């Protein structure tokens, strides 16, 4: 538990940025927000802070940095069905 508490300032830093950008981009302008995508950007920036002590820039740039989210979406759309026994053969056209 004590090690988790040490990560709190990193998460707080990203949360502050997230709230500032949410205010600036959506609350002040009245524009709509794809909230699931926006939260995914936040999550990736938190992961960057925890891993490298640096946000990856998803929230600041309000975009999918280097296509990471898009790549994971495509990969998981493939990896999910392929992990089901029997379907791997159909996708790969080989017997393991």
Mean pLDDT calculated for residue range 45-54 = 93
Q: What is the model's pLDDT at position 96?
A: 47
Q: Which domain holds residue 75?
A: 64-96
User: Domain check: are 56 and 84 in the same one?
Assistant: no
- Look at residue 70 and tell me whether its pLDDT is greater than 60: yes
Please tell me the pTM assigned to this model: 0.79
Check whether residue 82 and residue 50 sit in a common domain.
no
Judgement on whether residues 38 and 85 belong to the same structural domain of the protein: no
| 1 and 37 inside one domain | yes
Per-residue model confidence (pLDDT) at position 27: 96
Is 32 in the same domain as 77? no
Q: What is the rounded distance in angstroms from the CA atom of residue 55 to the CA atom of residue 44?
A: 8
The mean pLDDT of 87-93, rounded to a whole number, is: 65
The rounded percent of the chain whose pLDDT value lies above 70 is 89
CA–CA separation, 9 and 53 (whole Å):
10
Residues 90 and 48 in one domain: no
Tokens 């709509």 belong to 32
Any residues with CB less than 8 A from the CB of 61 and at least 6 apart, and which?
none
As a whole number, mean pLDDT of residues 84-92 equals 68
For residues 59 and 49, what is the distance between their CA atoms, to the nearest angstrom?
12
Q: Are residues 37 and 70 in the same domain?
A: no
- CA atoms of 54 and 93, how far apart (whole Å): 42
């Amino acid at each position: 538990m004590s090690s988790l508490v040490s990560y709190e300032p990193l998460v707080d830093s990203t949360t502050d940025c997230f709230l500032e950008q949410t205010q600036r981009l959506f609350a002040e302008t009245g524009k709509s927000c794809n909230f699931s995508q926006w939260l995914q950007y936040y999550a990736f920036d938190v992961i960057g802070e925890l891993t490298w002590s640096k946000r990856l820039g998803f929230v600041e740039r309000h975009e999918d940095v280097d296509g990471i989210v898009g790549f994971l979406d495509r990969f998981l759309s493939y990896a999910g069905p392929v992990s089901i026994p029997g379907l791997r053969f159909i996708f790969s056209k080989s017997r393991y």
